[in-house]
Amino acid sequence: MDNKTIFVLLLSLVIFPLYASEAAPMGGWSPISDVKDPHIVEIGEFAVSEYNKQNTAGLRFVEVVSGECQVVDGMMYRLIVAVNEGIGIAGLGERKKYEAVVWEKPGSKTMNLKSFKHVM
């Protein structure tokens, strides 16, 4: 082999693993492209409802603002949800955003709220 061939081979051995790790991060979070998808909305509604049950709160789900998903033993969703919180002067609740992390078991409707916290 000539020097040029060896150089190209060595370069590809260095670059390919870097490209592969960026293209498909194992267990990494991937953005959800359509947060208006009915299933994503259902997960957002579940998160708010479950938080209300666990904390005797009165939050009202408005919409999923953004989100990411991660393949684990099932599917993990990290959603930013908009909610109405309380009753304002004009009868409208104050709109706030929360980060909800929900795990869903594959092939079933089993969901588990992992965390729910206020974000700015």
* DSSP single-letter state for residue 92: P
Calpha distance 112→59 (Å, rounded):
18
- pLDDT at position 11 over 70: no
- pLDDT-based confidence at residue 120 (cuts at 50, 70, 90): confident
Report the predicted TM-score, pTM, of the whole model to 2 decimal places. Answer: 0.72
C-alpha closest to that of 45 among 97, 76, 81, 93: 81
- Measured from the Cβ of residue 93, the count of other Cβ atoms closer than 10 Å reads 15
Query: Mean pLDDT in the chain?
Result: 81
φ, ψ dihedrals at 88, nearest 5°? -85, 180
